[in-house]
Amino acid sequence: MSLTIRLAETLRQAGDSAKGHYVIRAVDVKKIYRMGDSETHALRGVTLDVRRGEYMSIMGPSGSGKSTFFNMIGGLDKPSAGKVYIDQVDIAQLDPYELAWLRCRKVGYIFQTFNLIQVMSCIENVTLPMAFAGKDSEEARDRALEILEMVGLRDRALHKPAEMSGGQQQRVAIARALANSPDILLADEPTANLDLRTGEEIIELFRKLRDTLGVTIITATHDLKMLKASDRIVWIDDGRLARISTPAEANIQLEEVH
Amino acid sequence: MEQIGKQVRLPFRRALQIALSGIRIRFGRSLVTVSGVVLGIAFLMSNLTSQLIKQSIAQEAAQRNTVNLMLSLVKAEIGDVAGRRIAVATFGNLTAVEQLLLAQLKATADVREGAGATVRIVLGNQTNSPASLTTLTAGMSQSVVLDSLANRVYAGPTNGIRRELFFGTESAEQIAKQARQARADKFRNWWIVTISLLVTVFGVANALLMSVTERFREIGTMKCLGALSSFIRTLFLIESSLIGLAGSILGVILGALLPLVAYGFVYRFGLVFGTLPYGGLLGYAVMAVIVGTLLAVMAAIYPARFAARMVPAAALRSTV
């Protein structure tokens, strides 16, 4: 199955290099939740392309469909109508095995509450996705140390999450997300549980990763500093794409939020 | 294909490791789950052990009764045997009762062949050959032939068989009544054991369900990291089988010791431990451990499926 994905990917990239420019494409995505007789339209047709290596922020009030859209482009949910392509692959076509494969290697997830596995040490957390990817443990250990070095926590490799500060935990979580060299980092309010300074460190780390690894970063956030650091800001409201702007263009709104 | 196959197989050791450290970290909760299994299996094991002890003590008591009865019949025929010179002839293999009887005779009388013996006692399962009996009892002033198979005592003053005596028989009606009573007791016992094991299963299932809902974010995170549903399922099945194994072993030890000590105080420790069939006890212990582990795994089937169905987006929810 992985071979098919790769093959399809290569073919598409070769045939249409312009499309390869986009790592995620959402085409008229709709999502309807049914509860008995009532229907909730979480998304009413969103079309959005995310460029490779882009740092994009998604904003929107709660209930706007922001989370639904975020889950959709992260391969965590499937659209009711429309298409979502992650690295040229239509996620609606994937079976559970392929979806797990995609989550394992294409997307790295970073959570508001860090979500490190509490019973595991720092390095075990980072090697976990590599174990799921079938990497042997020696190789995984070396790679984990390498990434931990990158996020500046190599010396804390054997510590448990409970022994670390929030900022450190989030950096471990970022290292874990990078384990299988994903194309996309998907971060859900990554700085919401951190103080201002630690939040800035995380933003700085994101920038560094984007510049050195060329990884695409998508965050859902209300953090002004995060918004300012991003290339584009996408506003979702009432299940629709309300506006796309650069931080400079959105300056007035940012101050309003402030 | 190859890579995905690897993805499914490889993390088993990892799953075992995660399950183990999960149990260690959530030790308090695990202890509650384990104690459910311990209690259920201890109850099962104490029942089985009590049965074994009761059976072996009853058997021992019945044997001693028979021996005493036989001895008293011997005494009735030839007078007190204590200190007397007695010749004993045995035929074939002796039954447990006959061995016990011989031991008792040897303990009180001077059991020896040869001249000077005036009393002959014949034991064994080939005692109904009149010719050899006649030879054996020749020259003796008194003789007793004990035939435990036919449940008879033959006695004669010099030679030949004088009379037959019956002993140790209960009426058929009495035996049937006892058997009925025993069956009813057994049924009631097993009924209670079954109920207690069912309670155990539901207790463990409940504790595991709690553990799943507690860990929804952890499960969701693992799924986000690329874990397959089957991995999550395996994780919970391993955890519950470890809990089941530990709980069963503890339960077996507890369940075996309790009745042993209790019966030891009621009877004598020497009698209880001396008559206990250890092979049977070990067999029951192994069986109880297997039952306990299987029940724990059975209890985990639904919680494990529940956990495996959890969507990866659950990891993103910030509130519990």
- What does the DSSP assignment read for B132-155? HHHHHHTT-SEEEEEETTTTEEEE
Position B10 scores a pLDDT of: 54
Q: Is the pLDDT of residue A191 over 70?
A: yes
* Alpha-carbon distances, residue A236 vs A22, A75, A218, A223, B120 (angstroms): 20, 18, 14, 16, 112
List the domains of chain A with CATH numbers.
53-74+96-257 (3.40.50.300)
Position A18 scores a pLDDT of: 45
Better-predicted residue by pLDDT, A232 or B319: A232
User: CB distance from A160 to chain B under 8 Å?
Assistant: no
Using CA of residue A79, residue A82, residue A84, residue A89, what is the dihedral sign? positive
Helices (H), A77-157: 96-105, 122-132, 137-150
Structural domain spans, chain B: 11-60+172-316, 70-166
Confidence label for A233 from pLDDT (cuts 50, 70 and 90): very high
Position A9 scores a pLDDT of: 58
Contact (CB<8Å) A71/B11: no
User: CB distance from A257 to chain B under 8 Å?
Assistant: no
Position B68 scores a pLDDT of: 85
**Best of A72, A101, A115 to disrupt the B interface by mutation (most B CBs within 10 Å)?**
A115
ipTM entry: 0.84
- Taking the C-alpha atoms of residue B184 and residue B50, their distance in angstroms, rounded to an integer, is 16
Q: Looking at this protein, which amino acid is placed at residue B67?
A: V
CA of B22 to nearest chain A CA: how many angstroms apart? Answer: 6
Q: Which residues contact A240 (CB under 8 A, 6 or more apart)?
A: A44, A45, A46, A65
Q: Which residue of A has its CA nearest to B224?
A: A103
Q: Comparing A40-54, A69-83, B123-137, B288-302, which segment has the lowest mean pLDDT?
A: B123-137
- What tokens appear for A30 in the block? 């709709």
Instruction: Identify the residue whose tokens are 């004598």.
Output: B268
- Taking the C-alpha atoms of residue A31 and residue A45, their distance in angstroms, rounded to an integer, is 8
Contact (CB<8Å) B316/A176: no
User: CB distance from A27 to chain B under 8 Å?
Assistant: no
CA of B3 to nearest chain A CA: how many angstroms apart? Answer: 7
Q: Is the pLDDT of residue A12 over 60?
A: no
The 10 Å Cβ neighbour count of residue B79 is 11
Better-predicted residue by pLDDT, A206 or A252: A206
Work out how many CB contacts closer than 8 A connect A with B.
Answer: 95
Say what the alpha-carbon torsion angle B44, B45, B49, B55 is, to the nearest 10 degrees: 30
DSSP run (H or E) holding B314? none
* Alpha-carbon distances, residue A168 vs A152, A222, B8 (angstroms): 9, 21, 31
CA of B18 to nearest chain A CA: how many angstroms apart? Answer: 8
Predicted TM-score (pTM) of the model is 0.77
Contact (CB<8Å) A96/B18: no
Q: What is the average pLDDT score of chain A?
A: 86
Percent of chain A residues past pLDDT 70, beyond the cut:
89
* Alpha-carbon distances, residue A103 vs A25, A89, A178, A185, B218 (angstroms): 16, 12, 12, 11, 15
Position B89 scores a pLDDT of: 78
Q: Is the pLDDT of residue A223 over 90?
A: no
User: CB distance from A87 to chain B under 8 Å?
Assistant: no
Confidence label for A17 from pLDDT (cuts 50, 70 and 90): very low
Q: Looking at this protein, which amino acid is placed at residue A1?
A: M
**Best of A1, A62, A104, A118 to disrupt the B interface by mutation (most B CBs within 10 Å)?**
A104
* Tens of pLDDT, residue by residue, chain B (320 residues): 444 444 444 567 778 878 887 788 778 888 888 999 999 999 999 999 998 998 898 888 888 888 888 888 778 777 787 778 888 877 777 777 788 888 888 888 888 777 677 777 777 765 555 566 667 766 777 777 776 666 666 666 544 554 555 555 567 788 888 889 989 988 998 899 999 999 999 999 998 998 888 888 889 999 999 888 988 999 899 999 999 999 999 999 999 999 999 999 988 888 888 888 899 999 999 999 999 999 999 999 999 999 999 888 877 775 54
Position A19 scores a pLDDT of: 46
By a Cβ cutoff of 8 Å, what residues of chain B touch chain A?
1, 3-4, 6-7, 10-11, 14, 18, 21-22, 24-25, 217-218, 220-229, 231, 311-313, 315-316, 318
DSSP run (H or E) holding B86? strand B85-91
Q: Which residue of A has its CA nearest to B231?
A: A132
- Taking the C-alpha atoms of residue A126 and residue B237, their distance in angstroms, rounded to an integer, is 24
User: CB distance from A7 to chain B under 8 Å?
Assistant: no
- Taking the C-alpha atoms of residue A145 and residue A162, their distance in angstroms, rounded to an integer, is 20
**How is A8-40 classified by DSSP, letter by letter?**
HHHHHHHH-TTGGGEEEEEEEEEEEEEETTEEE
Taking only the tens place, the pLDDT of each residue in A123-146 is: 999 999 998 888 888 899 999 999
